[in-house]
Amino acid sequence: MRDRSQLQAAGQPFTFDAERNDEFERLCTRYPIRESMIMPALWLAQEQQGWISAEVIEYIAERLDTYPAKVYELATFYTMYHLRPVGTYHICVCRTLSCYLRDKQEIVDFITDEIGIKPGQVSEDGRFSLEEVECLGHCGTAPVVQINGEFHEEMNVEKLKAVLAHLD
């Protein structure tokens, strides 16, 4: 598993854009306990910036009047939060038991050979990134691949080739 303990700095302050700020304010009315808003706020920030930077952690902590360590612990625990920039197409391959037993490694090996990236890497052109993640919740239709949030079940190399050919 890739080390999820090190945050990268984006090098510039972060603030929600108008659309996400409105959504943040709307969601706050649904969460009377401010710290319960950490995960939705992280999701909004990732949607805007594409990943969670050290500046995002500080910004969300300030907005929710909590400690940055509380935001950090959630951001680093869940693999759905990207702690570094990812490719235009972020490919997640489930690595838990069902997917492992149904040849998820063939999919990872294909991506490594064809695109030239290993788990945790971004392609040189920034188009693809690959990550092996814990359970994606589709054990009955393993192996499963998630590309930018869209699930592809009962995946194999031939199906993946077809999916990749239709990107863009």
pLDDT at 1: 45
Pairing, β 128-133 against β 89-94: parallel
pLDDT tens figures, 64-106: 999 999 999 999 988 889 999 999 999 999 999 999 999 999 9
What is the pLDDT at residue 80? 86
Residue pair 87/126 in contact by the 8 Å Cβ criterion: yes
Give residue 2's pLDDT: 56
Q: Phi first, then psi: what are they for 141, rounded to 5°?
A: -125, 35
Say which amino acid occupies 19.
Answer: E
Q: Which residue ranges of the chain lie beneath pLDDT 50?
A: 1
pTM: 0.80
Tokens of 103: 């040849």
